[in-house]
Amino acid sequence: MHIVVCVKMVPDTTLVQIDPKTNTLVREGVPFITNPFDTHAVEEALRLKDRYGGKVTALSMGPPAAEMVLRRALALGADEAVLLSDRAFGGADTLATSKVLSEAIRRIHENEPVDLVFCGLQTIDGDTAQVGPGVACRLGFTQLTLVDHIYEVNQRESYIEVRRKLEGAFERVQARMPALITTTREINTPRYPTVPGRLQAASRALPVWSNDVMKLERAEIGLQGSPTNVRRIFAPQREKGEIINGLNGAHLTAADCMLNKLYEWDILNAD
């Protein structure tokens, strides 16, 4: 079985703050990490490999530094990794991104047929959840989003059975392979890399596919291929309410602060 898993390098957004004056993201000093949803996609791909055998190829589009997320995947047990990196790919929205990713998977598929593609449900920097479905459509693969459990992969009859986590319900579905699966964070707990795994991953040569290799139309990729236009980024104004931060008073825990507020507003009675 051949599994491709897509991973993205993202800024650790929980640490990103918005500059209140300029309304832009303050990204300085914010470390980059593997998109948390993707860590579950990688884990699930590796678990299927452990269970059924086969091969896992990790794929990422991003700047040269994004090789770190691929090396992490290799350290965890992926067999191959490919980085899609070219200035021409930069500034892509979800449409242009899915174009490049799907073309890369097609190339991989031609070389060694792909049975499953895993993506994280969404990225924490964009939160759109559009890239996975976009790739599936372009490739003509079955699309299984929001998967939180995999029951079975039947290679002989070429189908997969999964559970999808919908709002207020679960859906158990059987689908034809090849298929693209987007994973929720509940699907598994990612493993931790061993040191020999890390060292091996660090010492490997990583193939980088630029557009010289991919040969895609300029109009379909990067900024040019992106119809989405970000006009302004801003923090929503809070008109009412207050966030109680337990860390401000040195001796007060969050619960203490909360209690104090409740007394203050006479919701609770101190006696």
What Å distances lie between residue 59 and 6, 164, 253, 255, CA to CA?
A: 5, 24, 44, 44
Does 243 bind another protein (CB under 8 A)? Our answer is no
**Torsion 241-243-249-255 (CA) sign:** positive
Does 248 bind another protein (CB under 8 A)? Our answer is yes
CB of 250 to another protein, least distance (A): 4
Selected from 128, 200, 210, 260, the binder of another protein by CB under 8 A is 200
CB of 70 to another protein, least distance (A): 17
Selected from 12, 112, 186, 217, the binder of another protein by CB under 8 A is 12
CB of 107 to another protein, least distance (A): 30
Does 20 bind another protein (CB under 8 A)? Our answer is no
Does 65 bind another protein (CB under 8 A)? Our answer is no
Which residue number, 199 or 233, has a Cβ lying nearer to another protein? 199
The runs of H, that is alpha helices, within 173-230 are 195-203, 211-214
CB of 253 to another protein, least distance (A): 5
Strand partners, 162: 150, 173
Where do we find the tokens 């530094």? 65
Binding range to another protein, per CB under 8 A, among 127-135, 208-216, 249-257, 262-270: 249-257
Which residue number, 47 or 198, has a Cβ lying nearer to another protein? 198
Chain centroid to Cα 45, Å, comes to 13
**Contact call for residues 5 and 57 (beta carbons, < 8 A):** yes
Length of the chain: 271
Which residue number, 43 or 115, has a Cβ lying nearer to another protein? 43
Selected from 68, 213, 252, 259, the binder of another protein by CB under 8 A is 252
Which residue number, 16 or 175, has a Cβ lying nearer to another protein? 16
* Pair type for strands 142-154 and 179-183: parallel
Does 269 bind another protein (CB under 8 A)? Our answer is no
Question: CB burial class (10 A; 0-12, 13-18, 19+) of residue 206?
Answer: middle
With CA atoms as reference, report the closest residue to 121 among 3, 1, 2, 7: 7
Site for another protein in 159-178 (CB under 8 A): none
Instruction: Determine the size of the site formed for another protein (CB under 8 A).
Output: 26
Q: Which DSSP state fits 73?
A: H
Does 205 bind another protein (CB under 8 A)? Our answer is no
With CA atoms as reference, report the closest residue to 129 among 106, 105, 146, 115: 146
Does 232 bind another protein (CB under 8 A)? Our answer is no
Does 268 bind another protein (CB under 8 A)? Our answer is no
CB atoms within 10 A of CB 64: 10
With CA atoms as reference, report the closest residue to 120 among 190, 15, 214: 190
Does 189 bind another protein (CB under 8 A)? Our answer is yes
Does 17 bind another protein (CB under 8 A)? Our answer is yes
CB atoms within 10 A of CB 258: 14
- The footprint of another protein (CB under 8 A) covers 12, 14-15, 17, 29, 31, 33, 189, 191-196, 198-200, 203, 246-253
